[in-house]
Structures are given as C-alpha cells and as structure tokens.
C-alpha cells in the first residue's frame, strides 16, 4: 500500500480515544510494567494497545532501555499533544460536572395557583429541611404548560392530565363548592337552588381561558351549570383564577372554588348539598427520574398527598365516605 493510502486509512479509521491516556501513563512512569499495574491491565494487553497507537502514528513512540522505556522524538511530540488534550478534556469534564450538578439540585414544579398557595408552599420548608441543597422553581398556573420548553420535572394537575409525555398516578381528589362572603350575603340572600344562580352576581373566568370552561364542564355537571349561569347572569370575569378567592372575599359575587382552599380563606359556602370533585394527578417526566433530587422530591410529594386526601376531599366528601 502507498504512503498516501496508509495516511488515508489512518484518517478514516482513527485511533480509539482510550489509547492516548494509556500512552500518557506509560510516558509518565517510564515503564510498561508500572503503567500496567497503575492501570489495572496486564502487560501484554498494554503493549498490544501501544502498538496499535504506533501503527496509527506510523512511527515508534518508545525505545526500550534497561530501566523501562524512553520516548522517541515522535513520542515526545505526541506526549505534548496528549497532555494538552487530556487537560482540555478534564476541564470540559469538570465544567460539565459543575453544570450537571447545578441542574441536578434544581427541581421545576408546575401546579395550579390554588394548590401552590394552599398545599405546596406550606410544605416547602419541611422539604428543604430534608434536602438542604434543593433549589426549587414553582410555576403556579391553571393552564397546561409545555413540559419540554419549560423543562418541567414534576406537574400537579386537576382533572384529566391530557399529557402523553408524562408518567404518574392519581393521588387524590379535590372537592369544589360554591362560595361567597358574609359581605355579599348581607346584601343578597343565598340561592336556594342551582336554578337561582343566574339571578346572582357570579365570578367567572375570562374569555381567554375557554379551554378551562370546556374541560371542567365536560367532566362535572356542577361546573357546567355554574359556567352556564355565569354567562347568563351578571358576572365578574377574572383571570388568573386564583383571584376568584379575593373577588369573593370582596363581596363581588359567588365563586366555584375548591372546598379546602375556600375554607382556609374564610369564605362562606352556599348550596352545600351541591359539590363536585376533580382528580389530582402527580406527574413527572420519565427522563427526570435520572436525577436523584427529582426522585426524592416526587416521593415526598406523593407521601404528602396521601396524608392530605381527607383535607383535599372536603367535608362533603368525607361525610359521604363515612355513610
């Protein structure tokens, strides 16, 4: 084969990366025996790998001497290049490990505004005591976010999760009821039936979130009746939905709210015989399971949901379960 052909073959085939660190150890120790011991390899195997590298270079890299081996001129040139290559690779590895380490401690969670305020935030201090290096980013929104573009790790959703990219399970249900304030009820008597809802001031969602109305009303009859009434009657429409609590507290009308959250806000329930429940789903990205911190946070949330099932279900659901 011609020299040109040999050079072409070497360019096409190329040496394996692990040959260069092996060569570097031999060059540093000056002995194939000592290098083999340090590398945990047999001497014949190491010698064979070095010959592979020499064939690629097309020149001898070592002279054998009584004390071991000594670098040829080509070996000295390769040692300088190899040292620079290994230093650059170690720097890359250290930088990558630092960046991966930072992201590994960060957990991004998306949940509804109400769940974030009344359920998730009260548990953050306890979670951080268990994991002092934990960093959290919380996205409080009722809208379903794009999991990939927001790089979310854990998603807590109500109702049908509608997400094929996530895995998880149903961890409970949250009961909804109709609420108002003493201020509003002082002005107007509470409705005696759902049919009287259109005669009241109702707090509804704005037109920019029609998907919420269609999704929830499609699942539960009470949602359908309340949303229909809010379109017919005098309604205050507010987004985001978390502000429905404040609007109800200000006496602006009746609102359809989660029972445990509305009770925590000091609101008054009307038509307590009417309730509805939505499932709560604890979901995660399958890829995020590779991060230990994400797995630990997910297990913590799963345990906390198990403890909170009765509270989330509300008084009506608990009473029904007991009967």
pLDDT category at 67 given cuts 50, 70, 90 is: confident
**CA-based end-to-end distance of the chain:** 91
Q: Using an 8 Å Cβ cutoff, are 161 and 212 in contact? A: no
Task: Domains for the chain: give ranges and CATH numbers.
Answer: 3-102 (1.10.10.10), 106-322 (3.40.190.290)
CA–CA gap between residue 220 and residue 252 (Å, rounded): 25
Q: With a threshold of 0.75, does the pTM exceed it? A: no
Query: What are the tens digits of pLDDT across the range 158-209?
Result: 887 766 678 889 999 999 999 999 999 999 999 999 999 999 999 988 765 5
How many Cα neighbours within 13 Å face the side chain of 237?
A: 15
User: What sign does the CA torsion over 279, 229, 253, 208 have?
Assistant: positive
**If DSSP codes are grouped into helix, strand and coil, which group holds residue 203?**
strand
How many CA within 13 A on the CB side of residue 73?
Answer: 0
Using a pLDDT cut of 90, give the percent of the chain over it.
52
What tens digit of pLDDT does each residue of 250-283 get?
A: 999 999 999 999 999 999 999 999 999 899 999 9
Nearest-angstrom CA–CA distance, 250 and 243: 11
Are the C-beta atoms of residues 18 and 83 closer than 8 Å to each other?
A: no
pLDDT tens by residue, 33-61 = 999 999 999 999 999 999 999 998 889 99
Res. 111 pLDDT band, cuts 50 70 90: very high
> Please, which residues bridge with residue 175 across strands?
277
Neighbours of 108 (CB within 10 A): 21
Contact indicator for 86, 24 with CB cutoff of 8 Å = yes
């Amino acid at each position: 084969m011609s020299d040109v052909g040999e050079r072409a073959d070497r360019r096409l085939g190329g040496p394996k990366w692990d040959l260069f660190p092996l060569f570097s150890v031999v060059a540093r120790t000056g002995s194939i025996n000592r290098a083999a011991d340090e590398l945990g390899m047999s001497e014949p195997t190491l010698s064979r790998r070095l010959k592979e590298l020499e064939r690629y270079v097309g020149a001898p890299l070592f002279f054998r001497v009584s004390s071991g081996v000594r670098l040829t001129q080509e070996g000295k040139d390769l040692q300088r290049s190899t040292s620079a290559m290994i230093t650059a690779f170690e720097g890359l590895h250290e930088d990558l490990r630092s960046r991966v380490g930072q992201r590994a401690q960060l957990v991004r969670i998306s949940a509804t505004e109400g769940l974030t305020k009344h359920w998730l935030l009260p548990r953050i201090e306890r979670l951080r005591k268990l994991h002092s290096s934990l960093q959290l980013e919380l996205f409080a929104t009722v809208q379903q976010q794009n999991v990939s573009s927001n790089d979310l790790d854990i998603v807590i959703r109500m109702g049908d999760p509608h997400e094929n990219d996530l895995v998880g399970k149903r961890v409970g249900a949250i009961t909804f009821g109709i609420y108002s304030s003493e201020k509003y009820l002082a002005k107007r008597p509470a409705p005696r039936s759902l049919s009287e809802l259109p005669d009241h001031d109702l707090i509804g969602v704005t037109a920019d979130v029609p998907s919420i109305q269609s999704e929830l009303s499609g699942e539960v009859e009470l949602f359908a009746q309340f949303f229909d009434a809010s379109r017919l009657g005098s309604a205050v429409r507010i987004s985001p939905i978390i502000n429905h609590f404040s609007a109800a507290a200000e006496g602006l009308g009746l609102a359809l709210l989660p029972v445990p959250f509305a009770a925590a806000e000091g609101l008054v329930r009307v038509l307590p015989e009417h309730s509805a429940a939505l499932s709560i789903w604890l979901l995660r990205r399958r890829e995020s399971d590779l991060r230990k911190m994400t797995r630990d946070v997910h297990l913590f949330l799963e345990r906390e949901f198990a403890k909170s099932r009765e509270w989330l279900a509300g008084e009506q659901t608990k009473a029904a379960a007991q009967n």
